[in-house]
Structure 1
Amino acid sequence: MKFAVIQFPGSNCDIDMLSAIREIVKEEADYVWYAETSLEGYDAVLLPGGFSYGDYLRTGAIAKFAPIMSEVIRFATEGKPVLGVCNGFQILTESGLLPGALIRNKNLHFVCKMSQLKIENTATLFTNAYQQNDTLSIPIAHGEGNYYCDEETLQRLKENKQIVFTYAGENPNGSIANIAGIVNEQGNVLGMMPHPERAVESLLGSADGLNVFQSIVKQWRESHVN
């Protein structure tokens, strides 16, 4: 399986993402620069965290116009896996691939610490290696991680089981319904604020994020069995 790690000006978690795939998951991965226009040959796309374009206007608001994003949208429309973490989640909402928006943390401060997450849906290609209601320790690092949507959208997310991760216990940013990660209706696009790529081995303090990537690989291999 081959992953594309998209690099925008201001990305700073791209190295973590690439290393997690290559060194821990043991799959192929390449950097793909924002100015590229093709994702030919890739099986999954990863949008890493950081401060794309310096977070000018709004987080992710300029990145959505990057040339590669037209290809990411096509990739997602074809049902292929797309994972956006932190700034990547913000880019996915700005691009319309996921509903809602990420706004300033409720306390108006940047938050960087370990967070506790609850698995709400294991029937996705990103969570099939977890058990229902598993509690995970995965770090967060963001200033605009407060997920917001209107009541109609929230009800639809609940009915379609699109809420994949919620904060267990403390809600560090004020997200509505404690939301930490959601998928699109088709189930192939996941946005999450916590950083699974920073929790792929115990040396980092937790390996609870590893199954996000292993779930993607597992689903891909099962779908490519002859």
Structure 2
Amino acid sequence: MILHANGSNRDHDAALAVELAGGKPRIVHVNELKSNPSMLEDHGMLIVPGGFSYGDDLGAGVLWALDLRERFGEQLQKFVSSGRPVLGICNGFQTLVKAGVLPGGFTPRRTTLTYNAGGHFECRWVTLEASQHSSSPWLTGLEDGLDTPVAHGEGRFVCDDETLAMLETQNLVALRYSGDSYPFNPNGSTGSIAGITNAAGNVLGLMPHPENHVFDWQHPRFHRGEIGRSGLTLFQNGLKLASS
């Protein structure tokens, strides 16, 4: 299931990535899920895609997070607890964090995603490094990292030193930008964090867009003979987890 809300705009990109990875995507409007939360149980994987849900009123992902937490929070918790994969991309990552799904277990919430340190929208390609310590099945085969675009204005991952230490100790940091400084870290994220998982490893959220690098020709230097490292593996991993 690929969730859609008013203002989300990467659901069809995510659907294409799932299809290329061998899955059968279904885009579901959040209002449909609100009216029948139990339908979530009929799906093997949940993707919360990128965009600007509800116009990012009150902050990026805030209102969509209310949907997740208040309208079908019980069903979502059962879905996560069952071990099925959940992927939040960009606005979807913001939503999962602000709903408390990621990283999970912190009360009150001690992480967030806020305005880029540079004070403006960032649209560029970045290189991601996968954690060698994470056991998340989402990261299988990503030892060489990923090359993906980012497109966000509120992508800076923020937490205090104590929380950062907890994330690292529990191996919840899944993906980092390839450098600490701009432009490698495009938003000034604490610890160069680009993506995190929950403790079980079946829920992954990241700010970059792996669904927008599933063909070689999408890489900006394709015509110079460079294809980078595709994001398709991520979706293949999700489908493997869904079928396990």
From 119, 123, 127, give the equivalent of 1:116: 127
Could you tell me which residue of structure 2 aligns to residue 34 of structure 1?
A: 30
Once the 2 structures are TM-superposed, how far is the Cα of residue 32 of structure 1 from its aligned partner? 1.3
Could you tell me which residue of structure 1 aligns to residue 231 of structure 2?
A: 209
SS of the residue aligned with 1:63?
Answer: helix
Q: 1:200 to 1:69 in 2, by over 3 A?
A: farther
Number of aligned residue pairs: give it. Answer: 216
Could you tell me which residue of structure 1 aligns to residue 224 of structure 2?
A: none
Does residue 117 of structure 2 align to residue 106 of structure 1?
A: yes
Partners of 1:70 and 1:106 in 2: how far apart? 35
Percent identical pairs in the alignment equals 38
Larger strand percent: 1
Could you tell me which residue of structure 2 aligns to residue 126 of structure 1?
A: 138
Does residue 230 of structure 2 align to residue 219 of structure 1?
A: no
Range that drifts further, 86-95 or 116-125: 116-125
Query: Where does structure 1 differ by over 6 angstroms across 4 or more consecutive aligned residues?
Result: none
Q: In angstroms, what is the RMSD of aligned CA positions?
A: 1.5
Partners of 2:188 and 2:149 in 1: how far apart? 16
Partners of 1:15 and 1:70 in 2: how far apart? 27
From 171, 178, 186, give the equivalent of 1:161: 171
Once the 2 structures are TM-superposed, how far is the Cα of residue 151 of structure 1 from its aligned partner? 1.6
Name structure 2 gaps, 5 residues minimum.
104-110, 220-227
Contact 2:155 2:189 in 1 (8 A): yes
Q: 1:123-176: per-residue Cα shift (whole Å, max 9, x none)? A: 212111222xx1321110000000011222111110111111100032110000
Q: 1:51-99: per-residue Cα shift (whole Å, max 9, x none)? A: 0010011111111222355533331132211000000000001100114
Q: Which runs of structure 2 are paired with 1:1-226 in the superposition (5 Å)?
A: 4-22=1-19, 24-35=20-31, 36=33, 37=37, 38-66=39-67, 67-68=71-72, 70-99=74-103, 100-121=111-132, 123-131=135-143, 134-169=144-179, 170-205=184-219, 206=228, 208-221=230-243, 223=244
Amino acid at match of 1:146: R
Once the 2 structures are TM-superposed, how far is the Cα of residue 40 of structure 1 from its aligned partner? 2.6
Calculate the TM-score normalised by the size of structure 2.
0.84
Partners of 1:220 and 1:70 in 2: how far apart? 20
Amino acid at match of 1:11: S
Partners of 1:207 and 1:71 in 2: how far apart? 35
Partners of 2:59 and 2:214 in 1: how far apart? 30
